[in-house]
Each structure stands twice: as C-alpha cells, then as structure tokens.
A = this chain, B = another copy of it.
Amino acid sequence: MIPLAVDAMGGDFAPRNIIEGTGLALDSQPRIGPVFLVGDQAQIEAELERIGRVDDDRIKIVHSEQVVGMTESPAAAIRSKPDSSIAMAVDLVKKGQAMAMVSAGHTGAAVASSVLKLRPLPGIERPAIATVFPGPRKQFLMLDAGASVDCRSQHLAQFAVMGEIYSRYILNIDNPRVALLNIGEEASKGNEQVKEAHHLLESLRKRGLNFVGNIQGSNMFDDLCDVLVCDGFVGNITLKCSEGTARFISNFLNQYLRKNWCRRLGALLSRNAFRDLKAIADQSEYGGAPLLGVNGICIIGHGSSCSNAVANALRVAGEAVEQQISQHILERMSELQIGNRKS
C-alpha cells in the first residue's frame, strides 16, 4: 500500500474537488492508501459526508488550522504558517507516514516547503517543476516550469536528467529525446547560460543521454523532443505565453464566429473539432506536475484542478513512488557522472 498526504485546502475549489478527486483515486487505484487529508477537519468531514465516505478506512483526516492564501509570498507563508495544510502534508512525507504529497494550492509555498523540509536530492542543486504540454501526436515534458528562476548552466543539465527519468518511468517513453529551449538551432545560439548548457548536454550525450540539441519556441509542438529543458523563469513564461495565445485565439474565434448567422451555423456544424482541440489541451489527464529534485515526492496540481485532475495527481503520486523516481534520478546522475563535483 502507498500512503499519500493530500493538501485538502489547496486550490480554487478546495476542499470539495480535492475530496471528490481523492474518492475517485481510491476507487480506481487499489494500491493507494491510506490518504491523509490535511485541512480543516469540519470541512473535510462535511465533504466526506456528501460523497458517502465518512467510514472509509483508507482515509484519515489530519486537522490543520492554517491555509496559505494564493497571494501570500511563499517565504512569509512558510514562516508565519508552520501548520498550514501544505506544510503539514510535507511533514507527513518527511516523517515517513506518507510516501508522497499532492497539493493544488500555492505552488511557491509547496516548493519552498518541500525544499526546506525534504531537502534536495544529493547532487541536485535546484528543484524543477515538470509540466506536460500537449503535442500533435504525443505530449512532451517541459521543465523547469517555475520552481527555480535563477539558474546556471549545470542546473539545466540536472533538469535534463530529471526530466529524462520522469519521461521514461512515468510517461513510458523508451529513450526520451531531450532538447534545450533556445532562440536558434545552432549550438552557438542563445545567452551565456544556454550556450554553456548546450555544451554540458553535448558531453552528456556522449555518455548516453539522448540529447537532440536546441529547439525553438516555434517548433515546440512539432514532436521533436520528449523533454524540453529551460530555466524556471523562461519555462513559466513559455507555459503562460502558450496559454495566453491559445486563449486569445479562442476568445477571438468565439466572438467572430457569432458575427452572423452563416458563421454561427458553421460553428455549430464544426463544434466537435473545437471540442477535440479542447480535449487535447486539457491538462487534467496528466495528473499534476511533479516537483523533481527533492528527497521525496511532491505533485503540484493546477489551482483550478477539477476532481478528475486531483484523482490523476494522486495516481501519478502513486506511480512516482512505485517507480522509485528519486532513486532512478540518483542512479542516472551517477551513470552520467554529474552531481556533487559541480556544486
């Protein structure tokens, strides 16, 4: 059995969606349990009542009075709310009562708490959030999506290894193609950080990493890589820029497809194509983004996670435990001869 800690108070629709999602996960994942729901006991009990799971012995409530608000600074939240639902969920992992934690709450607080309490993996100097992007034929993993915004080149090389392992063991890609997000394809392109990272990754390629070179933002979705590496600042902006562009197009079409009856009829007849697009862009199937590089497993869900997304985050947390992701990262670091020496 895989015990998990779940921040029941994190996310725009918490605790309702979190509890519902936990229920779904328990139904479909018999290996998971117990699930420690961390948060306001009364609210959690009310939600369990609603979904008829008050007596589920795979669920345990851990009462927490404090919740980190979405606008708080992570550092201040960690200091002033030592008993927040996020912090206490991480504590359960630290104490070994849970083998992984899931939160759809404050990303910065979840990252800061995890790094502080669980500590980085040996040889990893910066943690990274790995996020799944949709692709035409298959999805790809991008990291870092925002955990480490000030990086040096060796941190990008460490991200590459962590992404490779996650892609292989969780997304089941055989020999993941690892690429560097850059402004040109040639090795000479980019800023100093990325040019150096290219050089490091080139040397890792000789030791067995399937490094395929630079990829530009314009070719991100062209199925040229399985793992796309960048620092947390660039990654977060890229993630949000693609969301913003998609929303701009969607809003535009929404408006312009209503302009006259002819377009309205056309939109009605072709609506299933838009439904298909929405389905492929839907992140809820991917089950949250793992924080990689800390000594323990932490899965971060989107603030607006629906219950299905929460259930998938629990599933992924269970898989990451079973697949011993951290162990594989350490082995791969040693195999590729990177780590402590560069600290």
User: Which residues of A approach B to under 8 Å, CB–CB?
Assistant: 71, 73, 136, 146, 149-150, 181-183, 186, 188, 190-192, 194, 216-222, 230-234, 236-249, 251-253, 256-257, 259, 262-263, 265-274, 276-277, 280
Contacts of A269 in B (CB 8 A): 262-263, 265-266, 269
| Beta-carbon contact of A218 and B191 below 8 Å | no
Contacts of A183 in B (CB 8 A): 146, 149, 232-233, 236-237, 240
- Name A's interface SS: helix
Distance in Å from the Cβ of A55 to the closest Cβ of chain B?
42
Contacts of A272 in B (CB 8 A): 256, 259, 262-263
Contacts of A149 in B (CB 8 A): 183, 190-191
| Beta-carbon contact of B256 and A266 below 8 Å | no
| Beta-carbon contact of A188 and B73 below 8 Å | yes
Given A183-B149, A241-B241, A245-B245: A233 in contact with B194 (beta carbons within 8 A):
yes
Tell me the bound Cα distance from A247 to B236 in angstroms: 20
Beyond A183-B237, A253-B273, 19 additional contacts (C-beta under 8 Å) are: A136-B248, A183-B233, A183-B240, A191-B233, A216-B237, A217-B239, A217-B242, A219-B244, A220-B248, A221-B245, A249-B277, A253-B277, A257-B270, A262-B272, A263-B269, A266-B271, A267-B270, A267-B273, A270-B270
- CB < 8 Å neighbour of A276 from B194, B234, B244, B256: B256
| Beta-carbon contact of A241 and B243 below 8 Å | no
Contacts of A150 in B (CB 8 A): 191-192
- CB < 8 Å neighbour of A221 from B73, B146, B239, B244: B244
- CB < 8 Å neighbour of A270 from B221, B245, B266: B266
Distance in Å from the Cβ of A70 to the closest Cβ of chain B?
11
Distance in Å from the Cβ of A302 to the closest Cβ of chain B?
12
Distance in Å from the Cβ of A53 to the closest Cβ of chain B?
35
Distance in Å from the Cβ of A212 to the closest Cβ of chain B?
17
Tell me the bound Cα distance from A141 to B276 in angstroms: 33
Given A245-B221, A247-B221, A266-B270: A237 in contact with B191 (beta carbons within 8 A):
no
